[in-house]
Amino acid sequence: MSRSLVAALLVAVFSSGCGSKAFADISGSVDGVKLTAEASFWGGPFVVFTDKPFECMDMYWVKRGQNFETGVEAPVTEDMVALLFTYEASAVEAGDVVLGGTSPVDARLLVVKNEALTVYRADDGNIDVTEVSEDDGALGSFTTVFDEGSLEGDFQVDWCTNLKSKY
């Protein structure tokens, strides 16, 4: 079954109830770390998935991906895994973007354990945002390839006003 058909079916299933239509189905692992998205948002230049059930107001810690490096201060004190896509532009844009090299999109897996931050940067893959609107969220799919593994997924994420580029 194609990724776009899976994404369309998941949107139909999640749209049939009340409330948010957000979902993220992520598979794979990086250095043995898996990500089951409990919260996922987009806003400003960011698309972010976390394994913690953050609310939009809790996303104050998100900043441009290149600001996160292994060994720097962790953005949160509790253990967390997050996948962060940062667009070079001031906002997430619809379209398929190849990751790696001089790509206009940076993808990083952030792993916080015992207040220590480990960061993995994707050096290949793509993010394909097929729809983006504050009312309906962002819909798409991605494949991220790291030296230590890969993650791929389909998503529909809610807009979060707290996700803005400060830099």
Instruction: Encode pLDDT of 127-163 as tens digits.
Output: 999 999 988 899 999 999 999 999 999 999 999 998 9
Segment 105-111 shows an average pLDDT of 97
Lowest mean pLDDT among 19-33, 85-99, 116-130: 19-33
Report whether 66 contacts 106 (CB < 8 A).
Answer: yes
pLDDT digits (tens, 9 = 90+) for 8-61: 444 444 444 445 678 999 999 999 999 999 999 999 999 999 999 999 999 999
Residue 9's pLDDT is: 43
For residue 15, give the 3-state DSSP assignment: helix
Q: What is the pTM of this model?
A: 0.86
- Letter string b/e over residues 34-60, b meaning 16 or more CB atoms within 10 A of that residue's CB: ebebebbbbbbbbbbbbbeebeeebbe
Cα distances (Å, whole numbers) of residue 47 to 2, 12, 116? 22, 21, 23
How far is it, in rounded angstroms, from Cα 105 to Cα 92?
9
pLDDT of residue 7: 46
Q: Please tell me the distance from the alpha carbon of residue 40 to that of residue 157, in angstroms, as a whole number.
A: 6
How confident is the model at residue 110, as a pLDDT? 98
- Taking each continuous run of H as one helix and of E as one strand, the counts in the chain are 1, 10
Rounded Cα gap, residues 58 and 150, in angstroms: 27
pLDDT at 66 over 80: yes
Higher pLDDT, 18 or 90: 90
